[in-house]
């Protein structure tokens, strides 16, 4: 009998074809728990199709969906119908074009999906999952604004700059890291530091491997640290620019 796993999935950015491929590679089963780190849309052309797929997946699998900054921006646009030129420039255009083909019922279901996304998830083994980061020294429960959970970049900047020899017991070890055994994030593509695989710094794992640009989509077993990747997602959408 196949052992159930906890699988975490990095930023998808409408790269549905990449998601389907990496799930096949990882042989995802009905017994696995799937934790999605957010940013389901904004990038490639299959925004509506990606969310439809996730909604259907949630019917058959144990899924946890976290909120990304792009998901929050899309929700605001769907609810308020307000122009956001900056969002439009950074992936929103493809999402708007995708939703132009969607009917009212689909949009209503998607609004509920975006509305009900979690800001963070803390499991029974004290492993924290969130899209971006947090800043409060006491931990996520004391964060000043939930917006930080899906916009912050200081957490990743902090761990990249740490002396790798620091231990949790050292006086200078950052207090906000010490509350959790592990932290899993996306948001800031590791392609910015020339990488395309999951990167670990201190007790933080970054799984945004640049699927919105020219990188692959990544799925990781958090117990074994084995991971699977799609082909570079842009190769599935050769006539599109994505966020490049």
Residue 152 lies in a domain: yes
- Token pair recorded at residue 24: 């096949």
**Is residue 1 very low, low, confident or very high in pLDDT (cuts 50, 70, 90)?**
low
Q: Mind listing the pLDDT tens digit for each residue in 215-244?
A: 999 999 999 999 999 999 999 999 999 999
Query: pLDDT tens-digit profile of 89-131?
Result: 999 999 999 999 999 999 999 999 999 999 999 999 999 999 9
Say which CATH number the domain at 44 has: 3.60.21.10
Domain assignment present for 94: yes
Rounded Cα gap, residues 161 and 234, in angstroms: 30
> CA 38: distance to chain centroid?
3
Residue 30 inside a domain? The answer is yes
Maximum distance among all Cα pairs of the chain, rounded to whole angstroms = 56
Q: Is residue 58 part of a domain?
A: yes
pLDDT of residue 82: 82
Question: Which residue from 208, 240, 182 is spatially nearest to 68, judged by alpha carbons?
Answer: 208
Least confident of 12-16, 46-50, 55-59, 77-81: 77-81
Does some domain include residue 92? yes
- In terms of pLDDT, which residue wins out, 62 or 166? 62
Domain membership of residue 57 (yes or no) is yes
- Could you give the number of structural domains in the chain? 1
Q: What is the pLDDT of residues 26-41, one digit of tens each?
A: 999 999 999 999 999 9
- Give the domain range for residue 123: 6-236
The answer to whether the CB of 206 falls within 8 A of the CB of 155 is: no
**pLDDT value at position 186?**
98
Note the pLDDT of residue 2.
Answer: 66
Relative to beta strand 62-65, strand 33-36 is parallel
> For residue 48, is pLDDT > 90?
yes
Is 108 inside a domain boundary?
A: yes
Helix, strand or coil, per DSSP, at residue 162: coil
Q: What is the pLDDT of residues 142-188, one digit of tens each?
A: 999 999 999 999 999 999 999 989 988 898 899 999 999 999 999 99
Residue 62 maps to a domain: yes
pLDDT of residue 77: 97
């Amino acid at each position: 009998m196949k052992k159930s796993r906890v699988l975490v999935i990095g930023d998808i950015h409408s790269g549905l074809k990449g998601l389907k491929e990496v799930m096949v590679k990882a042989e995802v089963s009905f017994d696995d728990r799937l934790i999605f780190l957010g940013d389901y849309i904004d990038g490639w052309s299959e925004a509506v199709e990606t969310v439809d797929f996730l909604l259907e997946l949630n019917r058959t699998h144990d899924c946890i969906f976290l909120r990304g900054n792009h998901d929050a921006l899309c929700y605001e646009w769907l609810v308020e119908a307000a122009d956001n030129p900056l969002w439009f420039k950074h992936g929103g255009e493809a999402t708007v074009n995708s939703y132009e083909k969607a009917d009212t019922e689909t949009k209503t279901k998607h609004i509920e999906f975006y509305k009900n996304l979690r800001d963070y998830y803390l499991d029974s083994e004290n492993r924290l999952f969130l899209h971006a980061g947090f800043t409060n020294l006491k931990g996520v429960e004391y964060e000043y604004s939930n917006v930080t959970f899906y916009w912050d970049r200081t957490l990743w900047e902090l761990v990249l700059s740490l002396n790798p020899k620091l231990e949790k017991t050292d006086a200078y070890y950052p207090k906000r890291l010490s509350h959790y055994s592990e932290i899993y994030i996306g948001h800031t593509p590791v392609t910015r530091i020339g990488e395309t695989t999951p990167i670990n710094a201190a007790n933080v794992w970054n799984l945004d491997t640049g699927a919105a640009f020219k990188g692959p989509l990544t799925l990781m077993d958090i117990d074994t640290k084995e991971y699977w990747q799609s082909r570079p997602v842009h190769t599935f959408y050769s006539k599109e620019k994505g966020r490049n």
